[in-house]
Amino acid sequence: MFNRLKLRMQDMGTIKKLILGADAQAHRRGEDEPGAEHYLLSALELPDGSARRVFERIGVDPSGLQQAIQEQYRSALDLIGVDDNGMIDDSDPVISNQLLHQSKPSGQAVMKKLYELKKGDKDAPLIGAHVVAVIAAMEHGVAVRAFNTMGVDQRELSTAAQDEFNSGLL
């Protein structure tokens, strides 16, 4: 009973770090609200280090994710013959005046699926690998296109996330 309570408190702290981190990632890139890709970047910065290890398990350097996000925007514009004129890389940070946190729909979907995933596993703490597992299961969106740009096989990534849960490193 006490352990469960302790775990819940720990998870609340992790959720807070994850959301604040996602907000910061979005604002830094000149976006008002975080999407799934910002939650993934935030998960990579969580102190448990598990999100990074999931990528490393499949031989991918996660530090290339931000670059892949930019690249997939440029590729999408290329397809319609639009030159971004450097605007994709040149973003002024957003100074947010929002009192309440608001995510893009893809960010909301991450949080909802994270809750569902954790509901089935109440005895383990919430870690960055959970976020990777949730986003690896997505079919579309900026994060998925960034995976494609990085050459990440989403099924391999899901399996690696599962291996990370089973590794007992935390």
State the binding string over 87-116 for another protein (x if CB under 8 A, else -).
xx-xxx-xxxx-------------------
Stretch that binds another protein, among 13-21, 60-68, 73-81, 116-124 (CB under 8 A): 73-81
Nearest alpha-carbon partner for 102 in 13, 11, 32, 12: 32
Residue 86 in the binding site for another protein (CB under 8 A): no
In this structure, the number of other CB atoms found within 10 A of the CB of residue 57 comes to 17
Q: Choose, by CB under 8 A, the member of 45, 56, 84, 153 that binds another protein.
A: 84
Residue closer to another protein by CB (options 154, 162) is: 154
CB 31 within 8 A of CB 22: no
Residue closer to another protein by CB (options 1, 100) is: 100
DSSP of 126-154: --HHHHHHHHHT--SSHHHHHHHHHT--H
